[in-house]
């Protein structure tokens, strides 16, 4: 029963956000600030996750493809495809559920329990368009950017690891990457990142906005926001793979 | 004028209070008193529709605030200034910006006009020099005053105070009380003060409403309160160590 109540309130919050979207021009500073916090500030961790994922994938694929019948360029193809189609979006999504989702839920939760959201409403602000809408839209805009950063550094990391360990020469790696490259894979990855961005920001806004019970309540809201975001990222990943591939 | 008529509120199966009716004439101050957890702050949040009642209505100059569209409600809310219990200052911006906040969004004032108005308001609450401090650097009393300056910056018709003197030393409490009297008398602001500080009630209020046993147990002027033989009200007053 609680699940349905939660889902109803979540939909209601999103509906309010959409209905008040015309007010975004009044609060564009919030939108810009959220884009910086969500996008620019998350770049280091996303790049780090991308480089290491690509490097490990390259080394492990080389380790598994030991047959002389399989050309080394296959490693480049596997690493590039895996990164672009799956890992860049999912790994960065899971990392950002912790980084962005936890921040949003904590910020809004603290504002809720310290009556700052009540203060906004009592001044005549629409707290949903002021707090929720800029955060969700910033997720829409910045997650694809972060995906591109994760994907390109992931492929770069794979290439570098292959070269440094001497298992895949750069020319072979790039040959494989180019041979199997499809533009649709990038579109698929970007679509996933947009969906993941929406999942993380909207769930975290919902959990933070309706937090209650002081510091413990904020902690609970933050944990729930992160865990739920991760679960729904994995579910959405499967659903998108079934629908779009 | 604020009129509350037959208000009832429950959270789930827990009844907070039922059949609360009271009137606050223009320029007067009503104190809402009662034990902790009796629903004083809940009642206050109904006056500017931060909470919705199960039954009853709140009339603002004859208009039911709970029947308004969200756009109209937001316009009506701008007629209220609210001082929350913990001041509810936005901690991501400075004290000055907290006071300037409503002006930046709801007026077309230029930067120098905003600065002047904010400094005037801070001056009114005796905080002329702390404007650029971060809110985390402020003491409890200072936070309340900045909250008060923010509450009056749009020149509201109504001021709602939620425990304005809680957690403050007696001297600072007196200063806050003096400010409440000043706003009421000089700016003709209608005020509702939620408190259990009987010193404040006798200093600042024209009338009092005593919430007890899930209802409005007693309601009248301060003069009537001092002569009342209402047992639970007298017991509450005695418990606050105040001899009338």
The whole-number pLDDT of residue B242 equals: 57
Model confidence at B83, pLDDT cuts 50, 70, 90, reads: very high
The whole-number pLDDT of residue B133 equals: 86
Answer positive or negative: Cα dihedral of A126, A130, A133, A135: negative
The whole-number pLDDT of residue A70 equals: 84
The answer to whether the CB atoms of B88 and A115 lie below 8 A apart is: yes
Measured CA to CA, the distance from residue B241 to residue A13 in angstroms comes to 47
Instruction: Determine the number of helices (DSSP H) and then strands (DSSP E) in chain A.
Output: 12, 0
> Are residues A28 and A133 in contact, defined by beta-carbon separation less than 8 angstroms?
no
Kindly give, in sequence order, each residue whose CB lies less than 8 Å from that of residue B147, ignoring residues fewer than 6 positions away.
B83, B84, B87, B88, B89
List of chain A residues whose C-beta atoms are within 8 Å of the C-beta of residue B101: 123
Neighbours of A174 (CB within 10 A): 16
- Reported pTM: 0.88
- Is the per-residue pLDDT at B158 higher than 60? yes
Interface test with A, best of B41, B82, B135 (most A CBs within 10 A): B82
Burial A162-171 (b: 16+ CB within 10 A, else e): beeeebbeee
Q: Which two tokens stand for residue B41?
A: 């702050």
The whole-number pLDDT of residue B241 equals: 64
- Is the per-residue pLDDT at B244 higher than 60? no
Give the one of A116, A121, A125 whose C-beta lies nearest to B50's C-beta. A121
- Is the per-residue pLDDT at B92 higher than 60? yes
Residue pointed to by tokens 């989702």: A101
Read off the pLDDT of each residue in B138-167 and give the average, rounded to a whole number. 91
The whole-number pLDDT of residue B166 equals: 84
List of chain A residues whose C-beta atoms are within 8 Å of the C-beta of residue B70: 126
Interface test with A, best of B48, B88, B92 (most A CBs within 10 A): B88
Q: What tens digit of pLDDT does each residue of A126-142 get?
A: 999 999 999 999 999 99
Read off the pLDDT of each residue in B63-85 and give the average, rounded to a whole number. 91
The answer to whether the CB atoms of B82 and A126 lie below 8 A apart is: no
- Hey, what domains does chain B have and what are their CATH numbers? 1-34+46-77+207-244 (3.40.50.300), 81-188 (3.40.50.300)
Half-sphere exposure of A21 (CA within 13 A, CB side): 6
Model confidence at B226, pLDDT cuts 50, 70, 90, reads: confident
The answer to whether the CB atoms of B90 and A116 lie below 8 A apart is: yes
The answer to whether the CB atoms of A118 and B106 lie below 8 A apart is: no
The whole-number pLDDT of residue A49 equals: 96
- In angstroms, what separates the C-alpha of B99 from chain A's closest C-alpha? 12
Measured CA to CA, the distance from residue B181 to residue A92 in angstroms comes to 57
Q: Is B35 exposed, middle or buried (0-12, 13-18, 19+ CB in 10 A)?
A: middle
- Is the per-residue pLDDT at A66 higher than 70? yes
The whole-number pLDDT of residue B199 equals: 85
A12 touches chain B (CB under 8 A): no
Give the one of B84, B101, B102 whose C-beta lies nearest to A118's C-beta. B84
Read off the pLDDT of each residue in B22-43 and give the average, rounded to a whole number. 92
More confident residue, A54 or B188: A54
Kindly give, in sequence order, each residue whose CB lies less than 8 Å from that of residue A48, ignoring residues fewer than 6 positions away.
none
- φ, ψ (nearest 5 deg) of residue B38: -85, -5
Separation in Å, CA B128 to CA B88, B113, B140, B151? 20, 16, 17, 16
Give ipTM to 2 decimals: 0.89
Model confidence at B131, pLDDT cuts 50, 70, 90, reads: low
- φ, ψ (nearest 5 deg) of residue A126: -90, 105
Q: Which two tokens stand for residue B76?
A: 């009506």
**Which of B130, B134, B164, B166 is closest to B147 using CA atoms?**
B164
* Average pLDDT over all residues of chain A: 93
Q: What tens digit of pLDDT does each residue of A142-187 get?
A: 999 999 999 999 999 999 999 999 989 999 999 999 998 899 999 9
* Average pLDDT over all residues of chain B: 90
The answer to whether the CB atoms of B70 and A121 lie below 8 A apart is: no
- Structural element, H or E, at residue B80: strand B80-83
């Amino acid at each position: 029963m609680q699940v349905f109540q939660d889902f109803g309130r979540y939909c209601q919050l999103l509906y309010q956000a959409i209905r008040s979207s015309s007010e975004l021009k009044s609060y564009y500073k919030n939108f810009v600030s959220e884009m910086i916090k969500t996008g620019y500030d998350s770049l280091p961790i996303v790049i780090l996750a991308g480089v290491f994922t690509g490097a490990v994938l390259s080394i492990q694929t080389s380790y598994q493809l030991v047959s002389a019948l399989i050309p080394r360029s296959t490693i480049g193809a596997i690493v590039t495809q895996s990164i672009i189609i799956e890992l860049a979006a999912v790994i960065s999504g899971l990392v950002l559920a912790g980084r962005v989702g936890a921040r949003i839920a904590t910020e809004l939760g603290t504002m809720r329990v310290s009556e700052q959201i009540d203060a906004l409403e009592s001044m005549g602000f629409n707290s949903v368009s002021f707090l929720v809408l800029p955060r969700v839209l910033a997720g829409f805009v910045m997650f694809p950017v972060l995906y591109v950063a994760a994907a390109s550094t992931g492929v770069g990391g794979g290439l570098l690891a292959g070269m440094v360990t001497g298992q895949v020469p750069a020319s072979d790696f790039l040959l494989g990457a180019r041979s199997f490259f499809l533009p649709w894979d990038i579109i698929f990855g970007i679509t996933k990142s947009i969906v993941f961005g929406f999942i993380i920001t909207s769930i975290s806004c919902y959990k933070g906005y309706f937090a209650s019970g002081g510091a413990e309540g904020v902690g609970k809201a933050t944990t729930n926001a992160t865990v739920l975001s991760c679960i729904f990222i994995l579910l959405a990943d499967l659903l998108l793979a079934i629908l779009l591939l | 004028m604020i009129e509350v008529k037959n208000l009832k509120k429950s959270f789930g199966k827990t009844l907070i209070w039922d059949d609360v009716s009271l009137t606050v004439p223009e320029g007067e101050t009503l104190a809402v008193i009662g034990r902790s957890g009796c629903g004083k702050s809940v009642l206050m949040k109904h006056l500017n529709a931060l909470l919705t009642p199960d039954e009853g209505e709140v009339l603002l100059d004859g208009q039911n605030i709970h029947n308004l569209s969200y756009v109209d409600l937001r316009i009506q809310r701008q007629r209220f200034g609210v001082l929350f219990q913990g001041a509810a200052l936005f901690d991501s911006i400075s004290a000055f910006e907290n006071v300037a906040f409503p002006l930046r969004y709801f007026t077309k004032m230029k930067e120098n006009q905003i600065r002047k108005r904010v400094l005037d308001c801070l001056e009114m609450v005796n905080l002329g020099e702390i404007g650029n401090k971060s809110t985390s650097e402020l003491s409890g009393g200072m936070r309340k005053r900045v909250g008060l300056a923010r509450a009056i910056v749009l020149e509201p018709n109504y001021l709602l105070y939620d425990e304005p003197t809680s957690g403050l030393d007696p001297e600072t409490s007196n200063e806050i009380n003096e400010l409440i009297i000043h706003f009421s008398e000089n700016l003709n602001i209608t005020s509702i003060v939620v408190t259990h500080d009987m010193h404040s009630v006798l200093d600042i209020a024209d009338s009092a409403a005593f919430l007890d046993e899930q209802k409005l147990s007693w309601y009248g002027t301060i003069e009537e309160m001092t002569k009342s033989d209402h047992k639970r009200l007298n017991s509450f007053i005695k418990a606050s160590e105040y001899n009338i």
